[in-house]
C-alpha cells in the first residue's frame, strides 16, 4: 500500500504535487521525490497529520504606535522653502562630433 499524504488544507480536493490527486485532504503515492517534497512543504505523510499553526492574535488598532520613516511630506506651494524656487540650470552645450560618418557611396 502506498503512503498517504495529508494536505495542509483540511478536506482539500484537487491536484497536488507530482500529479497526485487529493480527495478529502488525502492522496496516495509511492514516488519518493513527491514524498520528500511533501515532507519539506508541510504535508503529512502516512499517519502524520500536518501541523496547523495557530493564527496570530488580532491586533487592536488603538494600541499601534505610528513610526515616521523618512522625511515628512510637504506641499511646496503651501509651505515654500527658500531653495524650492531656484532657477533651472542649463546643460552644457553639445560639442560637435569628431567621428567620421560614412557616406552613402561607401
33-55 pLDDT per residue, tens: 999 998 888 888 886 666 677 88
Which helix (H) or strand (E) covers residue 27, if one does?
strand 26-28
When comparing pLDDT for 12 and 82, which is higher? 12
DSSP 70: S
Q: pLDDT digit string (tens) for 81-105?
A: 777 766 667 777 777 777 777 776 6
Please give the radius of gyration of the chain, using alpha carbons only, rounded to the nearest integer: 33
- State the pLDDT at residue 106: 54
| pTM of the predicted structure, to 2 decimals | 0.46
Distance CA 45, CA 11 (A): 15
Helices (H) and strands (E) in the chain, counts: 1, 5
d(CA 46, CA 89): 73
DSSP-derived pairing of the beta strands 14-15 and 21-22: antiparallel
The residue with greater pLDDT, 106 or 32, is 32
Average pLDDT value for the chain: 82
Amino acid at each position: 500500500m502506498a503512503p498517504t499524504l495529508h494536505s495542509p488544507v483540511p478536506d482539500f480536493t484537487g491536484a497536488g504535487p507530482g500529479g497526485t490527486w487529493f480527495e478529502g485532504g488525502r492522496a496516495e503515492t509511492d514516488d519518493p521525490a513527491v514524498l520528500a517534497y511533501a515532507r519539506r512543504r508541510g504535508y503529512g505523510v502516512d499517519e502524520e497529520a500536518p501541523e496547523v499553526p495557530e493564527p496570530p492574535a488580532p491586533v487592536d488598532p488603538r494600541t499601534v504606535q505610528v513610526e515616521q520613516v523618512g522625511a515628512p511630506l510637504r506641499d511646496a506651494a503651501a509651505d515654500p522653502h527658500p531653495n524650492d524656487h531656484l532657477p533651472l540650470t542649463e546643460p552644457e552645450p553639445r560639442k560637435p562630433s569628431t567621428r567620421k560618418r560614412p557616406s552613402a557611396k561607401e
